[in-house]
Structure 1
Amino acid sequence: MKKVTAAIIEKDGKVLIAQRPKNDKLSLKWEFPGGKVENDETPQECLVREIKEELNLSIKISGYFMKNVYYYETGGIELMSYFAEITDGELELNAHEAVEWVEKSKLKQFDFAPADIKILNCFLHDFQN
């Protein structure tokens, strides 16, 4: 099972989401940005590296949120999500089709990748309570 990370980054009441590229197996689906954990790193190290590589942003992880295990036709993933804050950098698109800062109340309007949906729903539930 692949270990994958995702960052929930909030700023000024909005959440950063990223759209997967057109040529991706989850073409144009939205997600919380992150990526696959490599053998020699922790999930937290992975998340810091992936956000820097893909978005040119330095982040500080502020806490663990939750894990979701999801099975695609190609195999299972363990998606670990963390809250993070941007500490430095100018946003660049190095791996995604687009990024958006979205109000929490509008996140459900986006077509999220299946593995991210449970995390999205739990995040919104926690936000409302």
Structure 2
Amino acid sequence: MTDPSRTPVVGAAILLDGAVLAARRTAPAELAGRWEFPGGKVEPDESPEEALVREIAEELGCRIELTGWLPGSAPIGDTHELRVACGVLIEGEPVPTEHDQVRWVTADELDEVDWLDPDRPFLPALREFLR
């Protein structure tokens, strides 16, 4: 499912009390104000799971434990590919450092959020999981 010619990017669907955490981008300008699952690129020396735990600690100052991957992957432009894992908070509260805002979104609110295009393919499975 994953394309080895693309740089892997991982996102976290952090779950709490029937809601998922969404983070609002500030950069680049063309993406500012849109929402995403927080995360980032997988470095050559780490697994996708390790990368996601590291990225969440860097971006949100909290620790998560991954519980499984949502099905599929989505291209980001011509060079990157996104996978999204579900996780739960195990330490701290999310405080954005690279985003200007975070919010908890329920299954019924998923369509009210202006998600980045690569994040959208994961919403149907996430909606079912939240319900």
State if a TM-score over 0.5 links the two structures: yes
User: What is the alpha-carbon root mean square deviation over aligned residues?
Assistant: 1.7
CA distance in 2, matches of 1:60, 1:116: 20
Aligned residue pairs total 126
Partner of 1:40: 45
- Letter of the 2:45 counterpart: D
**SS of residue paired to 1:95:** coil
Residue 122 of structure 1, CA deviation: 2.9
Could you tell me which of 122, 126, 129 is aligned with 1:119? Answer: 122
Cα 1:88–1:76 change in 2 (3 A) is: same
Residue 7 of structure 1, CA deviation: 0.9
Q: Name stretches of at least 5 consecutive residues in structure 2 with no aligned partner.
A: 1-5
**SS of residue paired to 2:114:** coil
Partner of 2:105: 102
CA distance in 2, matches of 1:78, 1:67: 10
- Letter of the 2:116 counterpart: A
1:1-129 matches, within 5 Å, as 1-72=6-77, 75-125=78-128, 127=130
After TM superposition, the score normalised by the length of structure 1 is 0.88
Residue 71 of structure 1, CA deviation: 4.5
Considering fraction of residues, name the structure with more strand: 1
CA distance in 1, matches of 2:130, 2:102: 22
Partner of 2:3: none
Cα 1:4–1:24 change in 2 (3 A) is: farther
**SS of residue paired to 1:8:** strand
Residue 66 of structure 1, CA deviation: 2.2
8 A Cα contact 2:76 2:82, kept in partner? no
Give per-residue Cα distances to partners, 1:44-96, cap 9 Å, x unaligned: 00000000000001011111222323252xx2322111110100013221100
Residue identity over aligned pairs, in percent, reads 36
After TM superposition, the score normalised by the length of structure 2 is 0.87
CA distance in 1, matches of 2:33, 2:7: 21
Cα 1:25–1:2 change in 2 (3 A) is: farther
Q: Name stretches of at least 5 consecutive residues in structure 1 with no aligned partner.
A: none
